[in-house]
Amino acid sequence: MALPAWLHPRYRKNTYLFIYYLIQFCGHSWIFTNMTVRFFSFGEDSMVDTFYAIGLVMRLCQSISLLELLHIYVGIEPNHLCPRFLQLTERIIILFVVITSQEEVQEKYVVCVLFIFWNLLDMVRYTYSMLSVIGISYAVLTWLSQTLWMPIYPLCVLAEAFAIYQSLPYFESFGTYSTKLPFDLSIYFPYVLKIYLMMLFIGMYYTYSHLYSERRDILRVFPFKKKKM
């Protein structure tokens, strides 16, 4: 006897992914809309307190996005683990370690710029993924999701690097995360950030190469696909 459609594992998997993508889309759309309205209402002053206005929701969305590593690991999301891990790690480190820990950095314009870039990418990506799960595809959306990251992702990495650069004086002054270890050893966190700064660009090259290959494969076959309803 055949199982009802709603009991089929694939149906439950797609339902879960659709809800997950929808939640992320709503969260990032709210952030982007809030930033846009605040900018037109308060001008440049809104950029200074961007983190105070939407930082909590941004941290929530980025924390939930760690589930995507589990999705890939268990096989319910068809992506490669390493590139996604690098992308998520970049954001978690910048958001929670660099920005959240230093109140002075939270007031920098680079925070607003980063949030704009992240949300532009995620709104398009989650819209594309959400519709793909239910079998709907649009040529324009597919092209946009596979192309928008090409100029924006490198700009994101540059903004992340600039955020690290601007945070270094505060980590040096306050000694945040710097600690002494036994046997006269110590961890000086600004040095750790400088090492990570170099690794950031190495990771960008790897991730960019992977995304470009993925884009080429998807756009190569997409014109032969028809819209599914």
Q: Which of 14-18, 52-56, 179-183 has the lowest mean pLDDT?
A: 179-183
Residue 54 in 3-state DSSP? helix
> Residue 175 has what pLDDT?
86
pLDDT at 208 over 60: yes
CB 38 within 8 A of CB 53: yes
pLDDT at 187 over 90: no
How many angstroms separate the CA atoms of 95 and 114, rounded? 10
Identified catalytic residue from 20, 128, 160, 196: 160
**Sequence-distant (≥ 6) Cβ neighbours of residue 192 within 8 angstroms:** 177
Identified catalytic residue from 68, 153, 177, 208: 153
Tell me the percentage of the chain whose pLDDT exceeds 70. 93
**Sequence-distant (≥ 6) Cβ neighbours of residue 92 within 8 angstroms:** 62, 66
Tell me the percentage of the chain whose pLDDT exceeds 90. 71
How many angstroms separate the CA atoms of 57 and 35, rounded? 12
pLDDT at 68 over 50: yes
| CB neighbourhood size of 229 (10 A) | 6
pLDDT in tens, 97-155: 999 999 999 999 999 999 999 999 999 999 999 999 988 888 899 999 999 999 999 99
Rounded average pLDDT over 60-72: 95
> Residue 126 has what pLDDT?
96
Rounded average pLDDT over 59-88: 93
126 included as an active-site residue? no
Residue 49 in 3-state DSSP? coil
Rounded average pLDDT over 189-211: 93
104 included as an active-site residue? no
pLDDT range class, residue 182, cuts 50, 70, 90: confident
Rounded average pLDDT over 183-210: 90
Rounded average pLDDT over 21-35: 95
